[in-house]
């Protein structure tokens, strides 16, 4: 479905916005509910396509899940209670579903096949296969283990000491889930901090897990019973970042963003925005189930270009394209490096930024691991923008069209449903 996005010249972003539930925490809440002992309740679960794939996977594996009002009720069958299935587990477009489920299923001592759509089949899977193999998992991928489909066979797992080549929440989570089945200790060393929702949730549930100086130590015990729990999902910061960007860039805007996840491993984008001169106030902070959450008051700001500290990259990997938008309106040069991970997301996001900027006659220097933009620049041209079925790039292009002078046509706008089904409705509600 192609969609024309109008420019919002002479309009502002005003009012309040509550972002959709956090996608990362939603996936993990489903997983630990399914392998917990007894009934768990998940409030404010994200019901976008990616999380539905995780729900569908567990239903296929014999877990009873029902919905009552705004709660998902999951009847956990314990660590070893997942059924075998002769059907392929379809992960769709969700890398989180595939990588985390792989870590969990290698310990079930059964045969499984996980596959995904054409986009997921191009995303790297060797990064999880390598450490899982070192744990004695019998797992195989396509094309020398580079890609899915992934085939899992019975095996007896052992603990591991593993140094991650690249900071990755999905890889370390896959290892931690596999270690549930070793009755041993695993130690994971990260080069830099990355999202720690799995570690926080495991600590909240009572697992013997310790995190210090980017080193995660987890002693598993087969006698440990995962308690049933009440999970309350905060708003997703990565989705809120699109609205933060719009409010910062459109003159006269002021937006209150409510109940958003403020986990320090997720908000590198806020640090960058503040260094660029963005006017953002954090209010009503509170800690719930180990996760910091609160409200953000965002106002239109005059921005300046900066060189982004590479240590922040793993803390804002999904928000980096939005820095390119801010750079277009900022005074001076904005530069990002060490972001090569953008090349292997749902699409090559650096290539996608370059393609769109070239179509719009915008000046940008693209590196293998980042970009350099000299601002401010006017977005005068009109273009047909192709996100290559990447939901985040489609939302990025929507913002690009909104702040332009002539709008743009967005190809395959429906791909946004993977993570934010009512995105356009929510955008329209705050434009006035």
Selecting among 295, 318, 386, 390, the annotated active-site residue is: 318
Q: Which CA distances in Å does 341 have to 166, 239, 273, 344?
A: 9, 19, 21, 6
Distance CA 323, CA 341 (A): 15
Residue 414 has φ and ψ, to the nearest 5°, of -65, -15
**Tokens 């509170």 found at:** 286
Quick check: 333 and 305 in contact, CB under 8 A? Answer: yes
Largest CA distance in the chain: 64
Cβ within 8 Å of residue 429, ≥6 positions away? 15, 17
C-alpha 35/C-alpha 51 separation (Å) is: 17
Distance of alpha carbon 373 from alpha carbon 307, whole angstroms: 10
Asked about 318 being catalytic, the answer comes back as: yes
The answer to whether the CB of 265 falls within 8 A of the CB of 288 is: no
428's enclosing H/E stretch is helix 423-430
- Could you give the residue numbers annotated as active site? 318
């Amino acid at each position: 479905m192609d969609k024309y996005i109008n420019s919002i010249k002479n309009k502002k972003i005003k009012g309040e916005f509550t972002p959709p539930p956090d996608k990362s925490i939603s996936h993990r809440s489903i997983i630990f509910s399914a392998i917990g002992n007894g009934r768990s309740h998940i409030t404010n679960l994200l019901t976008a396509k990616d999380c539905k794939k995780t729900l569908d996977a567990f239903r296929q594996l014999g877990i009873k899940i029902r919905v009552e009002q705004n709660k998902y009720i999951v009847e956990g069958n314990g660590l070893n209670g997942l059924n075998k299935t002769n059907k392929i587990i379809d992960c769709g477009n969700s890398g989180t579903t595939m990588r985390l489920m792989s870590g969990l299923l290698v310990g079930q001592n059964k045969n499984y096949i996980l596959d995904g759509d054409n986009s997921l089949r191009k995303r790297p899977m060797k990064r999880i296969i390598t450490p899982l193999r070192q744990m004695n998992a019998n797992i195989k991928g396509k094309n020398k283990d580079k890609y899915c489909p992934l085939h899992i066979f019975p095996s007896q797992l052992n603990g591991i000491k593993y140094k991650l080549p690249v900071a990755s929440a999905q890889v370390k989570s896959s290892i931690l889930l596999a270690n549930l089945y070793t009755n041993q200790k695993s130690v994971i060393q990260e080069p830099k901090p990355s999202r720690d929702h799995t570690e926080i949730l495991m600590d909240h549930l009572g697992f013997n897990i310790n995190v210090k100086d980017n080193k995660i130590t987890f002693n598993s015990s087969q006698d440990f019973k995962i308690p049933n729990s009440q999970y309350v999902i905060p708003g997703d910061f990565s989705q809120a970042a699109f609205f933060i960007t719009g409010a910062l860039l459109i003159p006269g805007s002021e937006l209150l963003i409510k109940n958003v996840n403020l986990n320090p491993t997720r908000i590198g984008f806020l640090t960058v925005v503040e260094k660029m001169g963005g006017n953002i106030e954090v209010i009503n902070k509170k800690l719930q189930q180990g996760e910091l959450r609160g409200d953000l008051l965002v106002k239109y700001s005059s921005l300046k270009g900066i060189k982004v500290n590479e240590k922040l990259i793993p803390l804002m990997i999904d928000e980096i394209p939005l820095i390119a938008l801010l750079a277009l309106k900022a005074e001076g040069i904005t530069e990002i490096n060490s972001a090569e991970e953008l090349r292997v997301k749902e699409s090559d996001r650096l290539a996608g930024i370059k393609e769109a900027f070239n179509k719009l006659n915008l000046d940008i220097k693209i590196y293998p691991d980042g970009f350099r933009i000299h601002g401010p620049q006017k977005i005068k041209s009109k273009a047909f923008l192709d996100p290559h079925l990447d939901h985040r790039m489609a939302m990025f292009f929507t913002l690009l069209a909104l702040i332009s002078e002539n709008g743009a046509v967005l190809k395959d706008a429906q791909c946004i449903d993977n993570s934010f089904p009512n995105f356009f409705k929510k955008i329209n509600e705050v434009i006035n």
